[in-house]
């Protein structure tokens, strides 16, 4: 499906990013993976090409894309996968300005910086595919991290804007919204390891994206149940909020028992 296509993936030294890269490599694509430090080892293991990129920095994103285009040609698919999360602190807005700004820069602006570079050429040629890993938190909520939830909601909105504004110009947009996936971010996280809906492997996310692309579907649900949760949130918001408070209380009791 992606034979001879050039694919860029951020945050790809491991976890979901690596899983996505392996899928695209298996499909015959030329895959460029990036992280804060160029993931040379991962690239060597999976047959990709390593680049350094700090997605929170506009110039770094520009340099990553320019380097890939210089080395391999025009970018056909861009996967904005890098993400960060941090806790609330003592109450929902207690986290520092710095942590909120980091979440905004990585989870939202990293995609904006890339789209700003890629869109003009994609519009001119009438093709291109932009993928954002937004998380189920972008449709629901991440208990304990308002900054993560807020910025992932914004990431979903950006993916929608790309689909709305440029879908008729041949540009495809996809939004990946998994719950917990095995990665460094979820390692040792009780909510992830004990999730009632299952802790997925990165390859499961990659397969879900592949299926969504084949079906020309915008939303990617590696955990299919997230779609049901999202519908319930939209149609019964008070019941949804009540259920989330009960889940928060349950998680609090679990943490206390382990303490």
Entry pTM: 0.93
Q: Is the dihedral of CA 144, 225, 166, 80 positive or negative?
A: positive
In this model, does residue 99 exceed pLDDT 70? yes
For 105-141, the pLDDT digits (tens) are: 999 999 999 999 999 999 999 999 999 999 999 999 9
pLDDT digits (tens, 9 = 90+) for 137-180: 999 999 999 999 999 999 999 999 999 999 999 999 999 999 98
Q: Comparing C-alpha atoms, which of 128, 126, 31 is closest to residue 77?
A: 128
Among candidates 44, 73, 231, 35, which has minimal Cα distance to 140? 231
Max distance between CA atoms of the chain, in angstroms, equals 59
Whole-angstrom Cα Rg for the chain = 18
Q: Please enumerate in sequence order all residues whose Cβ is within 8 A of that of 82, keeping only pairs 6 or more positions apart, or say none.
A: 10, 11, 17, 35, 55, 106, 110
192 has pLDDT over 80: no
3-state secondary structure of 22: helix
Tokens of 211: 């299926």
Which domains, from first to last, does the chain contain?
6-258 (3.40.50.720)
């Amino acid at each position: 499906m992606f034979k001879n296509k050039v694919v860029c993936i951020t945050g790809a030294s491991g976890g979901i990013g690596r899983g996505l890269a392996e899928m695209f490599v298996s499909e015959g694509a030329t895959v460029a993976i990036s992280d804060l430090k160029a993931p040379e080892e991962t690239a060597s293991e999976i047959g990709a090409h390593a680049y350094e990129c700090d997605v929170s920095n506009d110039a770094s994103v520009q340099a990553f894309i320019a380097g890939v285009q210089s080395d391999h040609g025009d970018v056909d698919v861009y996967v904005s996968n890098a993400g960060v999360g941090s806790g609330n602190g003592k109450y929902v807005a207690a986290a520092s300005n710095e942590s909120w700004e980091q979440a905004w820069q990585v989870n939202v602006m990293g995609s904006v910086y890339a789209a700003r570079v890629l869109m003009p050429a994609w519009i001119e040629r009438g093709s291109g595919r932009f993928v954002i890993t937004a998380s189920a938190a972008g449709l629901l909520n991440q208990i304990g991290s308002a900054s993560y939830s807020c910025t992932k909601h914004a990431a979903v909105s950006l993916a929608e804007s790309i689909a709305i504004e440029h879908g008729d110009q041949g540009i495809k947009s996809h939004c990946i919204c998994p719950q917990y996936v095995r990665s460094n971010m979820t390692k040792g996280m009780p909510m992830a390891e004990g999730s009632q809906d299952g802790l997925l492997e990165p390859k499961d996310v990659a397969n879900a994206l592949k299926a969504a692309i084949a079906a020309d579907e915008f939303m990617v649900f590696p955990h299919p149940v997230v779609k049901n949760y999202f519908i319930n949130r939209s149609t019964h918001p008070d019941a949804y909020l009540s259920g989330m408070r009960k889940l928060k209380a349950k998680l609090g009791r679990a943490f206390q028992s382990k303490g």
